[in-house]
Structure 1
């Protein structure tokens, strides 16, 4: 898969939901865990984009599909507070 943008390491706040996964946490949530994640935006093998998130220990992972790169960037900002300036863009997308 082609990589369009990545963040090698960023600590995010999540809520662990026993038996049903996890979700991003609000800043004021006292039950949140602070976990180091890697983020990457890749192609989906067709015309879309995937926002892929995985914790450094591999315990937490998910992805979301987006029609455009801008949609994946907006999702990361809405869900995790990641600004477009934080992303590292590859020097070549070949």
Structure 2
């Protein structure tokens, strides 16, 4: 699958545990964990897009399907506060 945009390292606030479910945390939630994630917007192998994210330690991971790339960016902003200017073109594989 083609990768269209990435964020190699971004600290986000989450609630929950790797094996029992987790979700983005509100900015003022004192119980939130701050964990570094890698984010990517990829193709789904068809006409859609995936917003893929995984913690640096590999314990937390998820993805979501989107009809457009813009929708994937909008969900990343709404859920994790990621602005469009944070996304980078992916590094080519040598």
For residues 10-89 of structure 1, the aligned pairs below 5 Å read: 10-17=10-17, 20-89=20-89
Deviation of the 1:89 alpha carbon: 1.9
Q: Is there any run of 5+ residues in structure 1 with no aligned partner, and where?
A: none
Assess if the C-alpha contact under 8 Å between 2:49 and 2:67 holds in 1: yes
CA distance in 1 between counterparts of 2:91 and 2:38 reads: 19
TM-score, L = length of structure 1: 0.92
TM-score, L = length of structure 2: 0.92
Cα shift readout 1:13-48 (whole Å, capped 9, x = no counterpart): 000158531000001000000000000000000000
Q: Is there any run of 5+ residues in structure 2 with no aligned partner, and where?
A: none
Report how many residues are paired.
92
Cα shift readout 1:39-72 (whole Å, capped 9, x = no counterpart): 0000000000000000000000000000000000
CA distance in 2 between counterparts of 1:90 and 1:18 reads: 27
In the other structure, the counterpart of 1:2 is: 2
Runs of 4 or more above 6 Å deviation: none
CA distance in 2 between counterparts of 1:89 and 1:44 reads: 17
